[in-house]
A = this chain, B = another copy of it.
Amino acid sequence: MERLPGFRDFYPEPLPHSDVGSADARQFIFDKWRATARRYGFREYDGPPLEPLDLFTTKSGEEIVGQLYNFTDKGKRAIALRPEMTPTLARMVAAHERNYKKPIKWFAIPQLFRYERQQKGRLREHFQFNADLIGETDPAADAELIALLIDTLRSFGLTESDFVIRLSSRNAWSDFFKQGRGDAAHEYEFYQAIDKLERASPEENEQKLTALGFSLDAVNTFIKSGKPTAELQSILDNLAARGLRDFVKVDYHVIRGLAYYTGTVFEAFDAKGEFRAIAGGGRYDNLVKLISGGKVNLPALGFGMGDVVLLELLKARGLLPKFDANVDVFILIEDENLRAPSLKLVQDLRAAGYAVEYSLTPAKSDKQFKRAQELKTTFTAKFESDAYVRIRNLKSREEIVAGANDVANHLG
C-alpha cells in the first residue's frame, strides 16, 4: 500500500530513505517559527483544513478550481482543502474582529493543498508559516511584518549573505500604469506580465507589453531606476532604525501573482538565486471587506513562508541539525531481580523531566549498553545493589555511585 503521489511521510531521523520527510526537521522548523512570532507579539490561530469552495473562488475567481483539491461532501456541499490561509484568516477576522484590539497580529502554521495536474514529483501539500497584521494602514506595519520575516530567517542561522528581501509596491506600478495611460480594464493583466518578466523571453515580454500599450524599454528603465516611493522609503527607514536595512533591496521586478494585493509587496530569496522564493507577501487592504460581504473593512498585510524551499536552503547551507532520540538516561537492568527498583527509577527520572529508556525485556549487558550508545544517551544508570546506583556519563566517562533516591541530583 503506497501513499498518495505528492504527499510526504514524516519519519524520525536518521531517515530510512531520501524520498521521505523528517518529522524532527519539521518540528525544528515549526518551533523556530512559533518562537520568533511570539517574540514579535503575534498570537497563534488556526482554521479548518476544509472550507466551502466559495471561500476560495470569491477571492481568486473560478480559475483557481483547476488547482484545488475540491469535492462534494455527503451533505452536497462544494468544499475544498485549503490552498492558502488568507481567505480563512479574513473569514475568521471578519466574524470576530470586535473581540480583538487593533492591530491584530496573528500567525498560523497550516498544511496547504494544491492539486496541479501533470506535475510528477511535485508536492501537492506543504506547511506554511503565515503571519498577518490587520487593522493598520501605516507603513510602520509593513516594516514590523518584514522585520518578523527577516528575524524568522535569521533564527535558523541564515545571514544577510544567505538571503535578501526584494521589496516592491503595487502602488508604484499602479502609478506607472496610469502615467503610461494604461487601460484600467487590463491593469491586472499588466501586473501578470510584470510578474513573469524574469521568466519569459524578451520577445514574449515585448509582445505582451506592447499589446497593453507599454514598451519593454520603459518598463526596464523604471525597474532599473529602483527609486523607492515615499511609502517604501518609510519602510526602509524603519528597518534601518532596527539595524535591518541591509537585508532589503528595492526591486520592482516583484509584483506578486495573486490578484488581491494592493500596496507593498515583497519576496525573500536566497542570495545565490539557487532556489524558488523562500517567502512572499504584501498588503491586501480590500480582502477582509470582500470576504465579509462588505460588513467589515480592515486593512491588512501578511506573508507566507513554506517549509519545502526553506528546508532545501537550510540543508544546502549546512544549517539543519542532525536529530536523534534525545535520550538523557538509559537504565541498564543486568539482574532481573532488580527490575522492580529499576522501573521505579525509570518512573522517578521521567517524573523529574528526563527522557529515559531501558530494555523492556531481559537482555544481555553488552546488548543493553550497545543500545544505549545507539540512542546517544548522555548517562547510563545501573543498580549495584537494591539501594545504590552507578551513574556513568558516556560523554565525559565520569562515574559515580549514588543512593537510589538521589540519582536525579547527579545528572547535571
Give A contacts to B, CB under 8 Å.
1-5, 7-12, 14-17, 20, 23-24, 26-27, 38-41, 43-52, 54-55, 58, 69, 71-75, 77, 79, 81, 91-92, 94-96, 98-101, 103, 106, 111, 113, 115, 117, 125, 136, 138, 140-141, 144, 147, 151, 238, 241-244, 291-293, 325-327, 339-341, 343-344, 346-347, 350-351, 353-357, 360-361, 371, 374-375
- Bound together, the chains give a CA A172 to CA B11 distance in angstroms of 35
Partner of A39, one of B23, B38, B353, B371: B353
- Assuming A11-B92, A45-B11, A241-B340, is B355 touching A38 (CB within 8 A)? yes
Measured in the bound complex, the distance between the Cα atoms of B38 and A12 in whole Å is 12
Q: How far is the CB of A106 from chain B (nearest CB, A)?
A: 7
Docked Cα-Cα span, A144 to B361, in Å, equals: 11
Report A346 CB to chain B, min CB distance, Å.
7
Q: Please tell me if the beta carbons of A12 and B44 are within 8 angstroms of each other in the complex.
A: yes
> Is B58 within 8 A of A46, CB to CB?
no
Closest CB in chain B relative to A144 CB, distance in Å: 6
Which residues of the other chain, B, contact A45 by a CB distance below 8 angstroms?
Answer: 9-12, 23
Q: Which residues of chain B have C-beta atoms less than 8 A from A41's C-beta?
A: 325, 327, 355-357, 375
Name the contact of A361 in the complex, choosing from B14, B16, B69, B138 (C-beta under 8 A).
B138
Between-chain CB contacts (< 8 Å), 25 pairs? A1-B52, A1-B91, A3-B48, A4-B50, A4-B52, A7-B50, A8-B48, A11-B45, A11-B92, A11-B96, A16-B95, A16-B100, A17-B96, A23-B45, A23-B46, A24-B44, A27-B44, A38-B326, A39-B350, A41-B355, A50-B113, A71-B71, A140-B360, A241-B343, A241-B344
Q: How many identical chains are in the complex?
A: 2
Given the known interface contacts A1-B293, A238-B343, the answer about A360 and B103 at a Cβ–Cβ threshold of 8 Å is: yes
Query: What residues of B have a CB within 8 angstroms of the CB of A23 in the complex?
Result: 43-46
Asked if A39 and B354 make an inter-chain contact with CB atoms under 8 angstroms apart, the answer reads yes
A211, B50: Cα distance in complex, Å: 44
The answer to whether B47 and A3 have CB atoms under 8 Å apart is yes
Q: How far is the CA of A244 from the CA of B348 in the complex (A)?
A: 11
* Set of chain B residues within 8 Å of A1, measured between Cβ atoms: 52, 54-55, 58, 91, 94, 291-293
Known: A7-B50, A23-B44, A41-B325. A242 touches B347 (CB 8 A): yes
**Cross-chain contact B115 with A243 (CB below 8 angstroms):** no
**Closest 8 pairs (CB-CB, A-B):** A16-B99, A12-B43, A16-B96, A7-B48, A71-B71, A241-B340, A242-B347, A241-B343
